[in-house]
Structures are given as structure tokens and as C-alpha cells.
């Protein structure tokens, strides 16, 4: 009844129940879409280094280890620990972790950065997908009160009230797009198209500005899908999104996979274009090699061999490929393959499309792949970024975190701000450096590219958002002293 089998779940633990409240994860945390890789020796080293740093600094500051991890210095310590284990990949100085004032000064200097996260999730009130939160602790929602309190185990952790805190209070995200996933079981859609539209209206009404955008989910090849699309387009979605494998939640029930370049799908593109919707977001990748054997009928639809023709036939549309189509292999294996062949499964294929096919309307949304590779093997994360920027262009790589499955997106934001492609990798593969936290490449990825795709003017919009209710709530929250939960809302491997 889900992406992970009962056998899979026996090998996993809920992250909230067992994971330390570190500022960034110390092992791979997955949703139910795929099985996480066990903690590696390097990740164990990272964890040990992080505790050593914290235990050397926190007592001098009169802080507990957990409270230190909630500070900007604690976040810096997390990346210093990664550098210690994996090599100098992240821009972080030792003084940052040792000096909270210095770390906070840097954090505040970047807090106004214009960030559009166009790939986020929460679950509907009547969801049946309780597997996402089984055996987990969470934050008990207290309306719009930013001072949320600890509560009993509940699905609220993935629903809106906690989403608000994790995304709009505990991260520098300015605008978020709420997404969903379809299912052959109508009750198991994360959110229906109508519920997403209602959430957008509620959030923007509460904020007094446009803080939230939405997808409408498309399901080509399903009975009546074009009528459903007509109804969805009446809700004026900001973009469309589809899963080419069909039901990604219940893969064993999926009966309607589809190709981006099929005649039937093109009928939907025609309707979207007529309605003024020009961004077509498509879930690709996150398909481990083991799934090829389990779901051989669906496997061909997870790849990107249908992207180029659709892009050529529909130059008026923008095709945004979610998770950058990353195959999701063991990160160490993926790095070894990259070093041997110069290729990363499906990411390289995606990055090569513009040069091979002469199109300029293919984009990559980072999604889960950035979060997972950043903490599992930062060099493969750097290689992915290098390939995407080189092949698609820095103006065609888009920010999306898939929050809140991996917790607040702030640690991912800090990850990109600090990440640099190692010099040996730049020389070997012709990758350009990513540059500074607020340099042109990262500024484009964080917000500029999504702003262009969604018709947003960053400077004017940022000025409006600075005066809305969410900004007022955040200023009050920061003044009281931020209390990020440092929770993850997924599964980790046992052992």
C-alpha cells in the first residue's frame, strides 16, 4: 500500500524517534518513496566531530548541546564537521562555530536573500497516509502562534501548522509552492487540486501577500484526466505537476504511467497553454536500481528519454524536472562511477539535453537529491551541481527542497550557500565555481530563476513581503530567540 514494502519498513526507523537534534542530518533520511542508505563511516565521523565541537563550545557559552545546535553557530559547526570528515567542500571558518555573534552576524546578513522554494509538501487533514508519521513525535500546532510547543505523536508534523513554522519561521524562504502527489486511491492524494488552491488562498490571506503558490496535479492516461485538468485549470494553478510513473505512493497499484512526449499528454499541454499555464513540472528519478526489478513496467517511465522531444515540440512551455532526475544510487557508488566515467545516472542525461537537442526550455529542480547527497557524500552533491550548471546553465537550475520531509529547509539553504565544487573537480570536468553565498550563481538558483518562471519581480516582491504579517511574526519570533526543532520527518536505516 505504499512506496516502501513491509519488508523495507522492518529495516527502517522513524527519524524523529531515533535521530539526534543536530542542525543538519547525520545520515540519509527518506520519505516513503525510497529506502535510505545506512549511515556510512564518514557520516559517523561527521556526527562524532559535531559532538566534539559542540561539547567544546556549548559549556563555555552556558548552553546545552541541543540549544547550541539551535543557534547559527551550531549550524556552522555542522558544516565544519562535514568538512572534517569529507574534506574542505563547504565555506565555513572555525571562528564561526566558536563565536555565536560572528555566526549570527553572517546569518542576519543573508536572512533577506530572496528564496523561492517551489517544491514543498504538507498533508491534508483527512489523510490516510499515517505511515508517514507512524511511531513519530511531532510539534503540536497552536494555531498561528509562532511559539509552538512540544506535543504528543501526531500527523500534524507534516501538516500545515508545523509546515508554517519550519518553512516560514525557521528558514529564510520567502515564497513556497505547495505540491502534491496523485494516487490510484483518491483518498491518498497528498492534497487534491482544490485543497491546494484553498491552502494558497488561506495562506496568502493570512499573510496579506503572495507567500504561497500551488501546483495542479495532472494524471495523463488516467480515465477522465482531461476533464480533471479542465477543472484544475479553473482554479488558476501557478504550474502543473505530474509523476510519469503514475501512482508513486502505491507503486504496486500504478496502472497509468505516461510519457512526456506522448500524443495524449500533448492534449494536456495544449489546454495548459490556452489557460496561460506555461510551467510543467515533472517528477523524475528517485528510482533506485532495486525498483527496476520490483516494478519493471514502471521503470522506463522514471527516466528522462521523453524530455527532449516534448521540449522541442512545445517551445512555449518550460519543463522543470524535479529531483534533477537523479537515479538515487548509493552515494559512494555514484561518486565512484562519476570519477570513473564522468557521468551520474540520469542527471548527466538531463544536463546534456540542451546541447544535444538544441532546446532552452528544460530546467532542473533540486528537490531531494540536494538534501540527500549533501550529507551522504558532498562530492557527489558538488558533481551534480557542476553538471547541471555546466549543461543546463546557472539560469536553468531551480531551488526546491521537498520540505518538510527532511525538516526545515534552512539547513539545505545553508548547504548551498556554503557549497563549493572542489578545485580538482573543476579542473577535471570543466566546472565553473559556484561562488559566494549571495553571488550571481546561487542568487539565480535560490530565487532568480523561479522568479522568472513564475512572473515574479524579486526586488519589488521582497519589499512587499517585508511588510506583510508573516514578516511581522518572524521578527517577533526572532526577537524572542529562535527555537528550530531540528527534526526530520522521514525514515532512517536501522543499524
For the stretch 453-494, pLDDT in tens is 999 999 999 999 999 999 999 999 999 999 999 988 777 776
pLDDT tens column, 234-276: 999 999 999 999 998 888 999 999 999 999 999 999 999 999 9
Q: Which residue has the cell 542508505?
A: 37
Confidence (pTM)? 0.91
Q: According to the model, what pLDDT value does residue 29 have?
A: 76
For residue 7, the model assigns a pLDDT of 57
Instruction: Please give the residue that has the higher pLDDT: either 138 or 354.
Output: 354
What domains are there in the chain, each with its CATH number?
A: 6-111 (no CATH), 116-465 (3.20.20.140)
Place of cell 531540528: 486
Which residues partner with 33 through β-bridges? none
pLDDT at 207: 95
Residue 330's pLDDT band (boundaries 50, 70, 90)? confident
Angle, helices 367-376/41-57, rounded to nearest 10 degrees: 80
Per-residue model confidence (pLDDT) at position 93 = 82
Q: According to the model, what pLDDT value does residue 94 have?
A: 77
Burial 384-413 (b: 16+ CB within 10 A, else e): bbbbbbbbbebbbbbbbbbbbbbbbbbbbb
Amino acid at each position: 500500500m505504499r512506496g516502501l514494502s513491509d519488508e523495507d519498513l522492518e529495516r527502517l526507523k522513524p527519524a524523529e524517534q531515533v535521530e539526534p537534534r543536530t542542525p543538519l542530518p547525520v545520515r540519509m533520511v527518506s520519505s516513503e518513496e525510497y529506502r535510505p542508505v545506512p549511515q556510512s563511516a564518514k557520516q559517523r565521523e561527521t556526527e562524532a566531530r559535531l559532538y566534539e565541537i559542540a561539547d567544546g563550545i556549548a559549556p563555555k557559552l552556558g548552553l546545552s548541546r541541543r540549544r547550541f545546535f539551535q543557534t547559527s553557530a551550531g549550524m556552522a559547526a555542522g558544516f565544519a564537521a562535514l568538512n572534517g570528515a569529507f574534506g574542505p567542500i563547504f565555506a565555513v571558518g572555525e571562528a564561526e562555530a566558536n563565536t555565536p555573534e560572528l555566526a549570527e552576524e553572517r546569518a542576519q546578513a543573508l536572512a533577506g536573500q530572496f528564496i523561492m522554494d517551489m517544491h514543498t509538501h504538507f498533508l491534508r487533514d483527512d489523510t490516510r497516509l499515517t505511515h508517514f508519521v507512524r511511531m513519530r513525535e511531532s510539534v503540536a500546532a497552536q494555531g498561528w502562534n509562532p511559539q509552538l510547543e512540544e506535543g504528543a505523536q501526531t500527523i500534524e508534523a507534516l501538516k500545515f501548522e508545523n509546515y508554517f513554522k519550519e518553512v516560514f519561521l525557521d528558514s529564510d524562504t520567502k515564497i513556497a509552492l505547495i505540491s502534491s502527489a496523485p494516487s490510484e486511491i483518491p483518498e491518498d492524494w497528498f492534497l487534491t487540486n482544490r485543497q491546494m488552491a484553498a491552502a494558497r488562498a488561506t495562506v496568502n490571506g493570512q499573510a496579506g501577500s503572495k507567500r504561497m503558490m500551488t501546483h495542479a496535479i495532472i494524471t495523463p492516461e488516467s480515465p477522465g484526466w482531461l476533464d480533471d485538468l479542465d477543472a484544475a485549470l479553473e482554479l488558476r494553478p501557478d504550474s502543473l505537476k505530474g509523476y510519469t510513473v503514475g501512482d508513486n505512493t502505491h507503486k504496486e497499484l500504478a496502472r497509468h504511467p505516461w510519457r512526456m512526449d506522448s500524443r495524449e499528454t500533448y492534449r494536456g499541454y495544449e489546454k495548459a497553454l490556452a489557460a496561460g499555464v506555461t510551467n510543467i513540472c515533472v517528477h523524475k528519478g528517485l528510482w533506485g536500481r532495486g525498483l527496476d526489478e520490483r516494478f519493471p513496467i514502471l521503470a522506463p517511465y522514471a527516466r528522462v528519454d521523453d524530455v527532449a522531444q516534448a521540449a522541442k515540440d512545445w517551445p512555449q512551455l518550460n519543463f522543470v524536472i524535479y529531483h534533477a532526475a537523479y537515479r538515487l544510487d548509493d552515494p559512494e557508488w555514484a561518486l565512484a562511477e562519476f570519477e570513473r566515467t564522468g557521468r551520474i545516472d540520469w542527471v548527466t542525461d538531463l544536463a546534456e539535453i540542451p546541447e544535444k537537442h538544441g532546446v532552452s526550455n528544460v530546467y532542473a529542480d533540486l528537490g531531494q537529491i540536494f538534501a540527500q547527497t549533501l550529507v551522504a557524500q558532498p562530492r557527489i552533491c558538488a558533481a551534480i551541481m557542476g553538471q547541471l550548471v555546466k549543461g543546463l546553465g546557472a539560469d536553468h537550475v531551480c531551488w526546491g527542497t521537498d520540505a518538510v520531509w527532511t525538516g526545515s529547509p534552512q539547513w539545505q539553504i545553508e548547504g548551498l550557500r556554503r557549497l563549493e565544487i572542489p578545485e580538482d573537480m573543476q579542473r577535471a570536468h570543466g566546472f565553473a565555481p559556484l561562488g559566494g553565498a549571495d553571488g550571481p550563481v546561487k542568487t539565480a538558483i535560490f530565487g532568480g530563476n523561479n522568479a522568472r518562471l513564475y512572473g515574479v519581480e524579486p526586488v519589488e516582491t521582497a519589499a512587499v513581503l517585508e511588510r506583510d504579517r508573516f514578516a511581522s511574526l518572524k521578527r517577533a519570533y526572532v526577537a524572542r530567540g529562535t527555537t528550530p526543532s531540528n527534526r526530520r520527518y522521514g525514515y532512517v536505516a536501522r543499524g
